Amino acid sequence: MTLDRSGSRIDHLNLAVPDLGVAVAFYEPVLASIGIVKMLEIPPNATPNQPTAMTGFGLAGVKPYFWLIDGGTVGTNMHLAFTVDTRDEVETFYRAALEAGAGSLIEPGVHPEYHDDYYGGFVTDPHGINLEAVCHRA
């Protein structure tokens, strides 16, 4: 049975980080390597329910769906995977992350424990978050 791995029901994700400036400086070039761009910056206290600064990333012309929130605490075993269309994009993401200061967790490769065509590369961001780019195609 072949599963459709193309969709997600997650509309957006907020990721609290201790230092927004450090996080944005890292994520901006890394996410740009796979077509995700900085779209919106919201200053602190922009609304009564939003006391901290936020930066949103997404696909150009669509909407921000990945948000970095300033002044937070990173959770235990935090992992975030970005789906890409090709294995070359996994390699590009991995290299861009290392160039931006990420630590290497697992070099890009096939992970048959997930499924036969699972190809992912894993790094840690400046705040210790486990990031991955994954392609679900051969």
The SS3 call for residue 116 is coil
Whether the CA torsion 105, 110, 111, 117 is positive or negative: it is: positive
Average pLDDT over every residue of 13-20: 96
* Cα distance between residue 23 and residue 56, in whole Å: 12
Mean pLDDT, the chain, rounded, equals 94
- Residue 33, phi then psi, degrees to nearest 5: -65, -20
- The model's pLDDT over 62-121, given as tens digits with 9 standing for 90+, comes to 999 999 999 999 989 999 999 999 999 999 999 999 999 999 999 999 999 999 999 999
Domains of the chain: 13-135 (3.10.180.10)
